[in-house]
């Protein structure tokens, strides 16, 4: 209360100067009174602005002062400490403003420095509904925009602004405002409009000429592509300039202009303008607009005193109107503006099938627009149009207040000419001087006057002379009609008038046509009716009057030749109607039947018979019978329909039975009513039976009372059966005075209820729901309550491996309370898995719920044991933990704001088969606004995986930025595979896609050779009754760019291969594309066991350049200690490997193989056989050696028979050799002769590649040295 009192705008005026002092005492009294008055004034001012109660009172006073226009629901705070207003409204007949919440925090002290400093101005949803008509006068430029003091609004935010007129909603407006040194500056941080988002800054001078500068960046979406636009504003407020360019895929918009917004004439508001657009589709910009692909250029620049310019438009996707396209191909125009005159010249539009030319001259007093039509084929514009080619011209010219429209068009042999004067001042009227259609020898002409004000009087005279309708459209019958028409009427306020139509002897469809028709009418009353028309054998006659008591109107139709009316007609129709009584109590006798009736619009009736009679007053009996069979209109078909009513007016019964089908769904309907019409014209009675069979079906279980009148419809309480459930409908109906109302309850509403509307539910359920409602409403929003509760049953979800399991639902409840201005929803769900409950309150804005409606509420979610979800997981997967969330709801329905924590503990997820194990997990996250901040998500006792970041739900799509850190994390652990990684990745969810980036290092890994070759059904095996398998590469749904450093502790083993792997890989993927891997993996100390040999991997590179499953191979494994460098080289790719034997020097394949396996060449001798033996022996050695690993060499040779000089014969025999290469140069072998059982030990020492020494000791001893050289 110690705040200084300050004058503020709108406050009461300051105290008047004290009155003059006539006398001393009196002066004292006056002074005292004045001081008291001043004190009380100051005191009450201080109370009003400085205390909560006073401040609230201040608003009440303001509301009272406004005469009920202003209302504020709740006030908190004081003027000085800042305040909050809830639900403030300003309502006038043509204006309405609503503000759901306004919060102001400011620094009053700053006013001493001559500054208005607002820390925060936060506004909830705002509705603006201003229907004040425009004054029509041009807006004048302001003289000054200066403010008396500096202003700073540091933070300004508006949840939503709804413009009720154009139905626009702007959301999430945030920014700041400042007025300093004579300049207004606005910094807009965010502004969400239906077509995009904007951000930028604007500055405006406070004094003339109001220098303007600023820049706004727009971000939006057009045709599914994001658009970015930049707008630069400059110049002054009186002559602003605008430069904008927008770029998107296929669309380019470039605007550069200088404007004069305060010019009096519309076309003078532009000083210079260049607009270039390419690839614009109007259908994307405006719903309902035709589709096209338009390139547009508009150029306007000063030329002399005026402005000269041109327009050209090209549409590359022209098409028919019915196909939703624009038939315009090209439009060109040139215009010139001088003073206040606009001249349009050389303008034409090419419609592909013809051309329109335009020329015009406009000034504030007169205008002249000439349109020429040049060979325009209507079919080219719209295929359904008649095949006519139109030429001619039209002109709208004359004084601005009384222009004349003249028309002269010709198509085929038809000509349409006309002239009309459009009187716009005084008693506005359209004076049709002539309008004539000349079709060949015949013509139709029309003349008259239509008043456009007051009673809208219409006087029209027309004549037909030898007119042939078939000349206008081939779907009309041919004929020759002569006749006259005379209409004199007023159209406003319950039309009245007279018309007379008479035909001279004419023909139609070759049959004679004659007759006349005339009548007078006033509202629904008619008199002087005299109709007598005859077409061939068809007759229509009517005479008499109806409306006043005693009047009688009789009408007879006898039409056995309806086909004479045209190709769309057919069949027979006969009717006789006698009408008497008054409109309130009509009396009639009706007899009508029709057969094989065909009418335009695909309507047909096989047979129809109607009989009705209501002879006279309330007590007399009446009868009504209608039978329809085989009727059809569009996709509605009636098989049979019978309506019968009998009794008196005061007491009668009505029965309806029928079989029909709507949209291919058959229905059978039966209804019985009994009751009567009272003198007050209120029908009261009983609906004793109503049964609708079909899907959905509806059955009335007990008779209900039904009252229906002009001011009230009431259905009594009763029991119904519909959608497989029992419904109890309490009194429901409608009253003109206070709107509609309904109450009732339902029991046992099951899943079948939705069957007529949904083909198949995604889950199986035996859920049964009961509910009750009590609602009433008039105009916009209903009031009352609706409540639904689960009665019994459960939802069954399919299990991953087949089968199903119930969800364990124990409670499900939702209650909605509507009080006209707000809706409160309270819902609760309890299942075996967990529970969720919440309440939400939504307030109406401008009498309706919409995206900008303020929302508040609370949601609590608790999943106490995630392991209960076990049955729905795949085989080998386990999940555990608990999750809780308590969230508060705020903001608007379109942009809800959430706040509150989301916590989970003891989280665990394991997939044994994939080798994934995440344990000891904790999640701590907080919702704030529309952002979920992940404070901590970690797994493992020592936080081996942890994540932090945020997820934002603010934009059209959620975005996220999450960093995941791995610290000696066991990424894979299953038999044969164990991978431990460290590193960091970031997971970003952008507007387009999820992307994962980062770098991981493998700390330790052990990988076994994956088992290959397990048989599996091929993709071309189709098993009947199973879904067809998707064939093709698996794609990732997110973008990936992760580097993997294999480190130095990756071991790979299996299939004889043992190696370390080092290298770096980069995993890259784009959404929807398969994973690509790039990088090179080198083997480290690799060994490969093949053919019984330990091969050292001399060079081992696996080169990934795209497909992860098919890296390129560059592997060379050499036999240890091989003098010729024999080994195996694998090149190609994993899927298409090329395996080649290699050696340091050229030698035949078999020789290489021998060197590889045996460590020696095949040797000389009888070439082929020896080589074959050597290589076969090598294979055998390899095969055995893989098992035994003892010998390098198991071979078979044969020796020749030898006779020695001493005569002894050494017979030919087969010799088995065993041996092992001990070092690179030393071989130790053993030979056994199969026949002679002779044994020998062989030592080979290799001195160089081509030089070896061999010693053999057995029964004999020999030593041999051999040197081989190959040269050119």
Partner 1 sequence: MRRPVFYLLLACLAGPAHAALSYRVDIEAPDALKPLLADNLELVTLAKDPEMDEGTLAALLEETPAAARRLLETAGYFGAEVQVRRDGDSVRVDVRPGEPVRIDRWQVHYQGAIAGDAAALAAVQGELSGQWPLADGAVFTQEGWDDAKKLALQLIAVGAYPLAKIASAEAKIDPATHGAALTVTIDSGEHVDFGRIRVEGLKRYPEKVVTGQADFQRGSAYSLEKLTAFQSALEADPHFSSAIVVPLKNEVADGRMPILVRVVELPRQKAELGLKWDSEQGPGTRIGYEHYNIFRRGYVGSILFDWNRDESSLNFGLALPRTRDGYSHTANVALKKSEVQGVERDSVEGGVWRLRQRGDIEARIGVEYVLDRETVGGVEDKRNQAVFATVGWTQRKLDDVLDPRNGYLLDGRLSSTLGSALSDTAFVRGRARAALYWSPSFFPGTWLMRGDVGEVWAQQTASVPSSLLFRAGGAGSVRGYEYESLGVAGPGGAVEGGRVLATGSLQYMFTVRPGWRLALFHDLGDAADSWDSYRARKSYGFGVEWLSPVAPISFDIARGESEQKWRWTMSLGLPF
Binding site for partner 1 (CB under 8 A): 801, 875-876, 910, 912-913, 973-976, 978, 1011, 1014-1018, 1020-1025, 1140, 1146-1149, 1164, 1168, 1172-1173, 1175-1176, 1179-1180, 1183, 1196, 1201, 1203-1207, 1209, 1211-1214, 1216, 1234-1235, 1260-1272
C-alpha to C-alpha distance for 33 and 15, rounded to whole angstroms: 12
CA distance 494 to 507: 36
The CA dihedral of 757, 758, 763, 769, to the nearest 10 degrees, is -10
Min separation Cβ 1146 and partner 1, Å: 4
Cα–Cα distance measured from residue 962 to residue 954, given in angstroms and rounded to the nearest whole number: 16
Identity of the residue, 140 or 1014, whose beta carbon is nearer to partner 1 in the bound complex: 1014
In sequence order, the β-bridge partners of residue 1041 are 997, 1068
Cα gap 1123→1140, rounded to integer Å: 18
CB of 1190 to partner 1, least distance (A): 18
- Sequence-separated (6 or more) residues with CB below 8 Å from residue 681: 584, 709, 710
Q: SS3 sequence, 209-272?
A: CCEEEEEEEEEEEECCEEEEEEEEEEEECCCEEEEEEEEECCEEEEEEEEECCCCCCHHHCEEE
Sequence-distant (6+) residues with CB within 8 A of 1192 are 1092, 1093, 1157, 1158, 1159, 1181, 1185, 1219, 1220, 1221
User: Is residue 875 within a helix (H) or strand (E), and if so which, with residue range?
Assistant: none
Distance CA 315, CA 1132 (A): 53
Separation of alpha carbons 194 and 285, rounded Å: 11
Alpha-carbon distance of 466 to 505, in angstroms, equals 10
Of 3 and 1213, nearer to partner 1 (C-beta) is 1213
Chain mean position to CA 1010: 45
Using the minimum distance from each CB to partner 1, give the nearer residue, 87 or 1003.
1003
Under DSSP, the state recorded for 132 is P
CB 864, min distance to partner 1, A = 24
Which token pair is 1057?
A: 């291969």
Q: Which is nearer to partner 1, 160 or 918 (CB)?
A: 918
CB of 923 to partner 1, least distance (A): 23
CB of 1096 to partner 1, least distance (A): 23
560 within 8 A of 538, measured Cβ to Cβ: yes
C-beta of 696 vs 1258, nearer to partner 1: 1258
Indicate the residue among 344 and 1171 with the shorter CB distance to partner 1.
1171
- Distance from CA of residue 547 to its chain's centroid? 55
Q: Is the CB of 452 or the CB of 1263 nearer to partner 1?
A: 1263
Pick between residue 10 and residue 1027 the one whose CB is nearest to partner 1. 1027
Nearer to partner 1, 285 or 1263 (CB): 1263
Q: How far is the CB of 313 from partner 1 (least distance, A)?
A: 50
Strand ranges (DSSP E) for 27-131? 70-78, 82-92, 95-107, 115-130
Yes or no: say if 365 and 330 are a contact pair by the CB < 8 Å rule.
no
Instruction: Give whichever of 567 and 1163 is closer to partner 1, judged by the CB atom.
Output: 1163
Cα gap 165→94, rounded to integer Å: 11
SS3 per residue for 376-438: EEHHHHCCCCCCCEEEEEEEEEEECCCCEEEEEEEECCEEEEEEEEEECCCCCEEEEEEEEEE
Closer to partner 1 by CB, 941 or 1011: give it.
1011
| Closest distance of CB 473 from partner 1, Å | 53
Enclosing H/E stretch for 197: strand 196-205
790 forms bridges with which residues in the sheet?
769
Q: How are beta strands 457-467 and 621-633 bridged, if at all? A: unpaired
**Of the two residues 684 and 1058, which places its CB atom closer to partner 1 in the complex?**
1058
Chain centroid to CA 364: 46
We find the least distance from the C-beta atom of residue 1154 to partner 1, in angstroms, to be 11
**Strand duo 442-451 + 1057-1069: pairing:** unpaired
Q: How far is the CB of 915 from partner 1 (least distance, A)?
A: 9
Tell the burial category of 283 from Cβ atoms under 10 Å away from its Cβ (0-12, 13-18, 19+). Answer: middle
Q: Residue 763 Cβ, how far from partner 1 at the closest point, in Å?
A: 23
Which of residues 303 and 1149 has its CB atom nearest to partner 1 in the complex? 1149
Torsion angles phi and psi, residue 754, rounded to 5: -90, -5
CB of 933 to partner 1, least distance (A): 35
Pick 134 or 875: Cβ nearer partner 1: 875
Contact 1230, 1240 (CB under 8 A): yes
CA–CA distance, 326 with 60 (Å, rounded to integer): 57
| Cβ-based nearer residue to partner 1, 451 or 1177 | 1177
The beta strands (E) that lie in 709-821 are given as 712-715, 718-722, 725-729, 732-735, 739-749, 764-765, 768-777, 782-792, 795-798, 804-806, 809-819
The nearer residue to partner 1, 20 or 1011, going by C-beta atoms, is 1011
- Minimum CB distance to partner 1 smaller for 571 or for 1161: 1161
The Cα diameter of the chain in Å comes to: 178
Instruction: Give min distance, CB of 1195 to partner 1, in A.
Output: 10
Task: Give the nearer residue to partner 1 in terms of CB position, either 388 or 1184.
Answer: 1184
Q: State the nearest-atom distance from the C-beta of 1022 to partner 1, in Å.
A: 5
- Structure tokens given for 618: 């309330």
- Compute CA 245 distance to the chain's CA centroid, rounded to the nearest angstrom: 26
What are 440's two structure tokens?
Answer: 């060949």
């Amino acid at each position: 209360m110690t705040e200084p009192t300050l004058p503020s705008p709108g406050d009461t005026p300051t105290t008047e100067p004290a009155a003059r002092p006539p006398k001393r005492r009196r002066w004292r009294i006056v002074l005292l009174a004045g001081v008291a008055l001043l004190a009380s004034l100051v005191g009450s001012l201080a109370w009003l602005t400085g205390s909560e109660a006073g401040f609230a009172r201040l608003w009440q006073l303001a509301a009272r002062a406004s005469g009920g226009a202003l209302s504020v629901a709740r006030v908190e705070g004081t003027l000085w400490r800042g305040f909050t207003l809830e639900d403030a409204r300003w309502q006038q007949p043509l204006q309405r403003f609503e503000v759901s919440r306004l919060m102001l925090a400011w620094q009053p002290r700053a006013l001493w420095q001559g500054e208005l400093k607002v820390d925060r101005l936060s506004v909830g949803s705002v509705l603006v509904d201003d229907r004040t008509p425009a004054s029509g006068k041009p807006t004048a430029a302001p003289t000054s925009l200066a403010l008396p003091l500096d202003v700073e609004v540091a933070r300004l935010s508006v949840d939503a602004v709804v413009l009720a007129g154009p139905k626009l909603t702007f959301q999430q407006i945030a920014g700041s405002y400042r007025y300093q040194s004579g300049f207004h500056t606005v910094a807009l941080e965010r502004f969400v409009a239906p077509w995009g988002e904007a951000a930028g800054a604007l500055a405006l001078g406070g004094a003339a000429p109001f220098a303007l500068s600023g820049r706004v960046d727009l971000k939006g979406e057009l045709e599914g592509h994001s658009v970015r636009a930049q707008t630069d504003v400059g110049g002054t407020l009186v002559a602003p300039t605008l430069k904008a360019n927008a770029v998107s895929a296929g669309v380019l918009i470039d605007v550069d202009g200088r404007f004069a917004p305060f010019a009096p004439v519309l076309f003078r508001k532009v000083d210079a303008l260049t607009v270039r657009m390419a690839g614009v589709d109007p259908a994307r910009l405006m719903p309902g607009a035709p589709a096209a692909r338009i390139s547009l250029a508009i150029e306007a620049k000063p030329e002399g005193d005026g402005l000269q310019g041109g327009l050209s438009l090209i549409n590359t996707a022209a098409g028919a109107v019915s196909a939703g396209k624009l038939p315009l191909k090209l439009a060109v125009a040139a215009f010139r503006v001088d003073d206040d005159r606009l001249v349009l010249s050389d303008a034409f539009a090419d419609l592909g099938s013809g051309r329109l030319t335009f020329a015009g001259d406009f000034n504030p007093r007169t205008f002249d627009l000439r349109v020429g039509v040049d060979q325009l084929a209507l079919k080219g514009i719209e295929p359904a149009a008649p095949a006519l080619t139109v030429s001619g011209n039209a002109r709208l010219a004359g004084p601005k207040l009384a222009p004349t429209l003249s028309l002269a068009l010709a198509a085929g042999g038809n000509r349409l000419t006309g002239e009309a004067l459009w009187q716009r001042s005084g008693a506005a009227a359209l004076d049709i001087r002539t309008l004539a259609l000349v079709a060949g020898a015949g013509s139709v002409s029309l003349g008259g006057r239509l008043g456009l004000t007051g009673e809208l009087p219409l006087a029209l005279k027309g004549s037909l002379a030898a007119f042939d309708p078939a000349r206008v459209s081939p779907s009309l019958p041919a004929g020759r009609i002569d006749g006259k028409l005379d209409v004199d009427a007023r159209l406003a306020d319950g039309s009245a008038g007279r018309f007379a139509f008479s035909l001279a002897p004419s023909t139609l469809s070759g049959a004679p046509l004659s007759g006349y028709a005339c009548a007078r009418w006033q509202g629904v009353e008619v008199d002087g009716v005299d109709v007598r028309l005859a077409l061939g054998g068809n007759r229509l006659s009517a005479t008499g009057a109806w409306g006043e008591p005693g009047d009688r109107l009789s009408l007879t139709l006898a039409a056995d030749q309806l086909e004479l009316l045209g190709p769309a007609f057919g069949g027979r129709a006969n009717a006789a109607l006698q009408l008497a009584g008054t409109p309130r109590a009509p009396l009639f006798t009706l007899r009508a039947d029709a057969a094989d009736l065909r009418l335009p619009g695909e309507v047909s009736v096989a047979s129809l018979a109607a009989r009705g009679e209501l002879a006279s007053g309330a007590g007399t009996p009446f009868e009504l019978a209608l039978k329809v069979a085989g009727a059809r209109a569009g996709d509605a078909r009636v098989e049979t329909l019978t309506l019968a009513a009998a009794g008196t007016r005061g007491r009668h019964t009505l029965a309806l039975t029928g079989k029909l089908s709507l949209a291919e769904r058959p229905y059978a309907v039966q209804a019985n009513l009994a009751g009567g019409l009272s003198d007050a014209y209120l029908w009261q009675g009983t609906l004793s039976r109503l049964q609708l069979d079909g899907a959905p079906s509806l059955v009335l279980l007990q008779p209900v009372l039904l009252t229906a009148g002009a001011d009230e419809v009431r259905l009594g309480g009763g029991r119904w059966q519909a959608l497989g459930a029992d419904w109890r409908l309490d009194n429901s109906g409608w009253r003109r005075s206070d709107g509609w109302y309904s109450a009732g309850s339902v029991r046992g509403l099951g899943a079948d209820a939705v069957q007529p509307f949904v083909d198949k539910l995604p889950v199986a359920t035996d859920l049964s729901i009961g509910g009750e409602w009590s609602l009433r409403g008039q105009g916009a929003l209903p009031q009352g309550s609706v409540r639904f509760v689960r009665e019994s049953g459960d939802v069954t979800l399919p299990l991953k491996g087949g089968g199903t399991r119930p969800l364990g639902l124990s409670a499900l409840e939702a209650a909605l309370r509507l009080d006209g201005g707000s809706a409160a929803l309270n819902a609760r769900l309890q299942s075996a898995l967990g529970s969720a409950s919440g309440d939400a309150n939504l307030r109406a804005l401008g009498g309706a719920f919409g995206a900008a409606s303020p929302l508040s509420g609370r949601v609590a979610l608790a999943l106490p044991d995630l392991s209960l979800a076990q049955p729905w997981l795949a085989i080998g997967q386990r999940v555990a933990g608990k999750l809780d969330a308590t969230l508060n709801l705020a903001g608007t329905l379109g942009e809800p704001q959430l706040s509150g924590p989301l916590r989970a503990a003891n989280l665990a997820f394991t997939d044994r088969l994939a080798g994934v194990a995440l344990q000891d997990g904790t999640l701590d996250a907080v919702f704030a606004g529309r952002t979920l901040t992940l404070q901590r998500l970690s797994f493992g006792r020592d936080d081996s995986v942890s994540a932090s970041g945020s997820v934002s739900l603010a934009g059209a799509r959620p975005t996220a930025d999450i960093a995941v850190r791995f610290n000696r994390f066991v990424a894979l652990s299953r038999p044969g595979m164990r991978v431990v990684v460290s590193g960091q990745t970031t997971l970003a969810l952008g507007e387009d896609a999820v992307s994962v980036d980062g770098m991981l290092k493998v700390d330790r890994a052990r990988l076994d050779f994956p088992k290959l070759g397990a048989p599996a059904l091929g993709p071309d095996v189709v098993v009947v009754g199973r879904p067809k398998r998707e064939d093709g590469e698996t794609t990732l749904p997110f973008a990936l760019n992760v580097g993997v450093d294999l480190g130095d502790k990756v071991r790979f083993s299996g299939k004889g291969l043992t190696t370390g792997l080092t290298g770096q890989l980069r995993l890259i993927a784009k959404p929807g594309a398969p994973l690509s891997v790039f990088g090179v993996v080198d083997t480290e100390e690799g060994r490969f066991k093949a053919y019984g040999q330990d091969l050292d991997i001399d060079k081992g590179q696996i080169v990934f350049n795209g497909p992860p499953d098919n890296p390129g191979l560059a592997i060379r494994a050499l036999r240890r200690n091989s003098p010729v460098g024999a080994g195996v080289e694998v090149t190609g790719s994993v899927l298409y490997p090329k395996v080649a034997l290699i050696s340091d020097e050229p030698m035949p394949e078999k020789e290489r193989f021998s060197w590889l396996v045996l460590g020696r060449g095949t040797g000389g001798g009888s070439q082929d056989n020896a080589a074959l033996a050597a290589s076969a022996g090598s294979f055998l050695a390899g095969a055995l050696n893989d098992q035994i690993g003892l010998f390098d060499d198991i071979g078979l040779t044969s020796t020749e028979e030898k006779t020695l000089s001493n005569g002894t014969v050494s017979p030919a025999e087969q010799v088995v050799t065993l041996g092992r290469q001990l070092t690179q140069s030393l071989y130790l072998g053993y030979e056994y002769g199969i026949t002679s059982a002779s044994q020998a030990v062989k030592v080979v020492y290799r001195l160089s590649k081509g030089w070896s020494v061999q010693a053999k000791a057995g029964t004999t001893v020999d030593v041999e040295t051999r040197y081989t050289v190959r040269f050119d």
